[in-house]
Amino acid sequence: MVLRSIAAPPTPWSKSLAEPKIDETAYVHRSSSVIGDVRIKANVLIAPGTFVRADEGTPFHIGESTNLQDGVVIHGLEQGRVLGDDRSSYSVWIGKDTSITHMALIHGPAYVGDNCFIGFRSTVFNARVGNGCIVMMHALIQDVEIPPGKYVGSGSIITNQQQADRLPDVQEADMQFAHHVIGINDALRTGYRCADNIGCIAEIRDELDDSQVSNRSSNGNGQVKNMRLGSEVSVQVRQMLAQGYRIGTEHSDERRFRTSSWQSGPSIQATRESEAVAALEACLDEFPGEYVRLIGVDPKAKRRVLEMVIQRPDGKVTQNIKAPSIKSGSSANSNSVGSSQLGPEVVEQVRSLLTKGYRIGTEHADKRRFQTSSWQSCSPIDSDRVSDVVQALEACIETHPGEYIRMIGIDTKAKRRVLELLIQRPDGKVSENGKAAPAQKAESKIAQVQSTGLNAEVQTQIRSLLAQGYRIGMEHAEPRRFRTGSWQSCTPVQSSNPSEVFAALENCLKEHPEEYVRLIGIDTKAKRRVLEQIVQQPK
């Protein structure tokens, strides 16, 4: 085994040339790189194509029996901003018995506790993930602290503490799955270490044979069925069944697919993962040459929680799942939108944002959450086509009737929101006839300042923050500073009187008419921000 582990390069901020410290029982694949002050403990697995670079922020700690799977990247920006369990300072701390799975990014300053699972392509940056947390696929965790034992669903974007505090607890089935992954990777570590030892390989084969006999599928004939669907689909099925959801299928030929005219497939009554996956594979066999999608149904709320294509006409089935997008069945080469329950203005806004290279997201909130600005994310939208995005917006509206729905425009380079626009109210009204309804204009989160003063929603937001005991602040930035996130403070507001705060905000807007201005909500006890809301943009 050849280890690609080298000293950190000499730089203006670090001249120590620190080298990795790797326990002799750990395994680092020859195609991986470990650079700088990285402390790898006993029984760790560093899988192929993994990069652990302590060449800027240092040091890193990787705890006992933890596995970093294929394609994982670990890097850090600054020196020692994380307090490890040993009370020393680190740029990145990863605890013991933790799985950092395929293509995940842990970017310091970051802390990941013991017995955690970080799913495929998920990102943890400037955040703390407590012990026993499970983060599923394609999630973003940034600038927050996730309490111990919490579950983060696939595609979640957790970027404020309110979201983190409201996460559900991990269930027993989730923990069993995480422990199963640890066991598999421990076996891989052992296998890699003795790959050139014939006697060692024979011993592992014997153990594997025994394991297969004791873990055969309970289909009545003792045979283990080869799985055509990827492990990611099995994970998705397991999670839905564990949450009490039902599994369904739909299929369509290419003509029906273009018009989203899906037909129901065979009903799946199974409540066990192996039986449900077998039923899904039977459905694939029944409809070759067609699109087939997996449906997750909440029987209590009588609504769909998941729609994911698992087979395409070329016969390919899902192997590497992305966070599922809803109703992505539009023409492959079209950016036009046919009939839509959204008004032309919203569609044009979507087209404008995508043309500028921005991404689109959606959030929903019931009336109680709306009053406290505690929005929840709908399914992520990965597409950059207008038709796909509009369908995803409509799917969010259909999934959350009787709630507020807003569209988010995201500048991924600057990591800033450029638009927050309300597109549905609890009475079910959405934008139509080419113009946003007057109430929707008043409730757009990119709040424009009218000649008569602040609009109604900004005033409501300020009153809500003051009623909760928070303080109000304002910041401004010209376009150049906005792109780099270099905001400057307006005159501090010491008052808790709404009228005085309104006056202070209006003064800030008048002083900086051609700049971005944002409203800040501050929890003085916890010394953290609870809100950052843009209230003015340059013309």
| Residues catalogued as catalytic | 56
Cα 162 from Cα 158, distance rounded (Å): 9
Q: Which residues of 345-364 are buried (b: 16+ CB within 10 A; e: fewer)?
A: bbbebbbebbeeebbbbbbb
8 A C-beta contact, residue 423 and residue 406: yes
Give the separation between CA 255 and CA 329, rounded to whole angstroms.
11
> HEC states along 275-339?
HHHHHHHHHHHHCCCCEEEEEEEECCCCEEEEEEEEECCCCCECCCCCCCCCCCCCCCCCCCCCC
Q: What are phi and psi of 221, to 5 degrees?
A: -115, 5
Residue appearing with tokens 């395929």: 102
CA-based end-to-end distance of the chain: 61
Sign of CA dihedral 290, 333, 139, 321: positive
Helix (H) or strand (E) holding 273: helix 273-286
CA 344 to chain centre: 30
Burial of 510 (0-12, 13-18, 19+ CB in 10 A): exposed
- For residue 252, list its beta bridge partners: 291
Coil vs helix vs strand at 147: coil
> What does the alpha-carbon distance between residue 69 and residue 47 come to, in Å, rounded to a whole number?
5
Cα four-point dihedral sign 384, 308, 286, 315 = positive
Side-chain-side CA neighbours of residue 371 (13 Å): 6
Alpha-carbon distance values, 512 to 123, 476, 488, 490, 515 (Å): 36, 7, 11, 9, 6
